[in-house]
Chain A
Amino acid sequence: MAHARPEIVRMQFMEIILFEARSLTSQTKSSIMYGEDLDQVPLLDNEEPLDFGEEDLPKGRLKHPVVTTFHLLFRTAALVVYEFCGIFSSSFIGPFIFIVVLLSLDFWTVKNITGRLMVGLRWWNYIDDEGQSHWVFEAKKGGLQGRVTKMEVRIFWVALVAFPVLWSIILLIAVVFSRFQWAIIVVIALTLTGSNLYGYVRCKLGKSDSISQSFKNMAAGLVQRQMVSNVTSMFTRAPPTATPSSTV
């Protein structure tokens, strides 16, 4: 008999805890809400065992191949077009519009579709009736079984982090070589990819007060783990055997 695989059509999201934070620049109160289930989920979670329901999926196989393709497609296309449009034509406006369109498509896709399906995170903003703005960052409760594959999670995060880094390097190059028109494209690219990165990292970090705080926690966790592994290796190392002195 097959596993009792809960085919939940709609994703179950946890209750949201209201977290009122004062906005930095004005007296308006903006609030930031987090999905409750995240208790410091580490950013790199490559130590979880294969989840229940995933055993029948061969390792490395993607659950949503189309979504994954699109996650990567628009970002890569924008970068490629930016780099190679100079070979094909000397115009600026055509490639500009094309790249901006690709970047917008990528932003929309990553924010609305791939994050939700590949890693179960989503983030948005809404204005309530009093005119207060609320930012909501949600993560899917424990239902990672059967819905998310490790390979997809890895691809998602690698693509999410790599592209802002690449674009910032390209920005440096553009500024150094005084190609300021093209730098505008790079700034737009950086804004769009960077904001997706920021949103998803906030989702992942969950209930922490601030990003710097959660990075400190993460660093402390890594240091702790390192210390523990050092101590255990000290105890498990074989005692040094005395080498017999040379025979007389």
Chain B
Amino acid sequence: MRDLRAVGTKFYHVLYPKEKKALLKEWDLWGPLILCTFIAMMVQGTQEVDKQDGGPEFAQVFVIVWLGAAVVTMNTKLLGGTISFFQSVCVLGYCLLPSCLSLILCRLILIAHQNRILFLLRFIVTCIGFAWATFAAMVFLGDSQPSSRKSLAVYPIFLFYFIISWLIISHSNV
């Protein structure tokens, strides 16, 4: 269907951020919803029999992603950015994809018995995902910032993906 194909195209453009039009012109929020749900499901806490399973971390991810994207967008707009609210939230949400991929890899690494080297590997994978996500977000959002304020606008995006990556690296129970 048209919408599914649009989502798929945007995923592709996040991975190879060369062309900006696809994400910016036709924004949609389905991709961020899918990614957010996926990340939230994967970083659940431990399951205990008589408590509600993995509740806190699951809801936390949703709140962090959506509130975080909204706050970063407000910051961008207050700094004089020329992008609309939904476009910015769309970009930030779609750029979660590299972090999501690093989460999948970490999950695979966690299958093996853990030691220091594997932790280092997970750390590196998460860092790559984080850097890629921040870079992709800057490629898409960069033009809409006034040039004197670029670093002021980068910092919240950096912080946003940093926190998401922190959630990913600190998830270590199988």
Contact = CB atoms under 8 A, between A and B. Distances in A.
A52 interface: no
Contacts of B54: 92-93
B44 interface: yes
A181 B83 contact: no
A96 B144 CA distance: 36
A127 B52 contact: no
Interface residues of A, number: 22
Interface string A81-111: 0000000001111001100100010001000
Interface residues of B, number: 29
A30 interface: yes
Interface in B58-80: 58-59, 62-63, 74, 77-78, 80
Interface of A: 23, 25-28, 30, 90-93, 96-97, 100, 104, 108, 125-127, 131, 133, 181, 184
A127 B86 CA distance: 11
A90 B53 CA distance: 8
B59 A26 contact: no
Contacts of A23: 84
9 contacts: A25-B78, A26-B78, A26-B80, A92-B53, A92-B54, A93-B53, A131-B83, A181-B59, A184-B59
A131 B144 contact: yes
Given A25-B78, A27-B82, A108-B3, 20 more contacts: A26-B77, A26-B78, A26-B81, A28-B83, A91-B53, A92-B54, A92-B55, A92-B58, A92-B59, A93-B53, A93-B55, A96-B59, A97-B37, A100-B37, A127-B26, A127-B27, A131-B82, A131-B144, A133-B86, A184-B63
Complex A-B, nearest 5 residue pairs according to Cβ-Cβ distance, in ascending order: A133-B84, A92-B55, A92-B52, A26-B77, A127-B25
B26 A28 contact: no
Contacts of A131: 24, 82-83, 144
Contacts of B3: 108
A184 B84 contact: no
B33 interface: yes
A137 to B, nearest CB: 16
Interface of B: 3, 24-27, 30, 33, 37, 41, 44, 52-55, 58-59, 62-63, 74, 77-78, 80-84, 86-87, 144
B46 to A, nearest CB: 13
Given A93-B44, A184-B63, A104 B33 contact: yes
B96 to A, nearest CB: 17
Contacts of A127: 24-27, 84, 87
A188 B78 CA distance: 26
Contacts of B44: 93
A100 B32 CA distance: 13
B98 to A, nearest CB: 23
Contacts of A100: 33, 37
Contacts of B37: 97, 100
A28 B87 contact: no
